[in-house]
């Protein structure tokens, strides 16, 4: 909801920034733990017109970052995104990779392209290649 407030006029410009897709959730896995930790980051792509001078957020928990180019391995899936479906899809993507050691082992991304209230959401699991 913090990002939604930022998008919906609670920013230094007072403007509605518009929605972009995907909304991504960066998930950091616990060391030697099969479950998702609470360390997640939700990210929103600023519309291109705002990227050079993004409006400042009022909420100090919102940080504007520039992401460097990266190689991403992705697998699409439909449906709900809950811990069970995310972990299943993460496992399936790992099985498809010929060289999973090329990817960051403790971080993955869930990308959502459809409204979270939709019944048949379009999503992806992303693995980032090690730099």
On the question of pLDDT at 34 being above 80, the answer is: no
Give CA–CA dist 12/55, Å, rounded: 5
User: For 37-69, how does the pLDDT look when each residue is reduced to its tens digit (9 = 90+)?
Assistant: 568 889 999 999 999 999 999 999 999 999 999
Q: Confidence band (pLDDT; 50, 70, 90) for 116?
A: confident
Domain count, the chain: 1
In three-state secondary structure terms, 25 is strand
pLDDT (0 to 100) of residue 91: 93
Range of the domain at 87: 2-128
Query: What's the confidence (pLDDT) of residue 30?
Result: 67
Sheet with 23-29, strands from edge to edge, namely: 36-43, 23-29, 107-112, 122-128, 72-78
CATH number of the domain residue 75 falls in: 3.20.80.10
Q: What is the pTM of this model?
A: 0.87
């Amino acid at each position: 909801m913090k990002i939604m407030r930022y998008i919906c006029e609670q920013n230094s410009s007072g403007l509605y920034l518009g929605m972009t897709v995907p909304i991504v959730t960066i998930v950091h896995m616990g060391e030697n733990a099969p479950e998702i930790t609470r360390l997640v980051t939700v990210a929103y792509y600023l519309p291109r017109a705002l990227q050079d001078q993004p409006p400042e957020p009022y909420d100090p928990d919102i940080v504007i970052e520039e992401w460097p180019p990266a190689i991403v391995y992705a697998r699409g899936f439909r449906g709900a995104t809950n811990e069970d479906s995310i972990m299943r899809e993460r496992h399936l993507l790992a099985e498809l990779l010929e060289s999973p050691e090329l990817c960051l082992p403790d971080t993955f991304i869930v990308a959502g392209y459809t409204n979270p209230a939709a019944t048949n959401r379009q999503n992806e699991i992303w693995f980032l290649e090690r730099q």
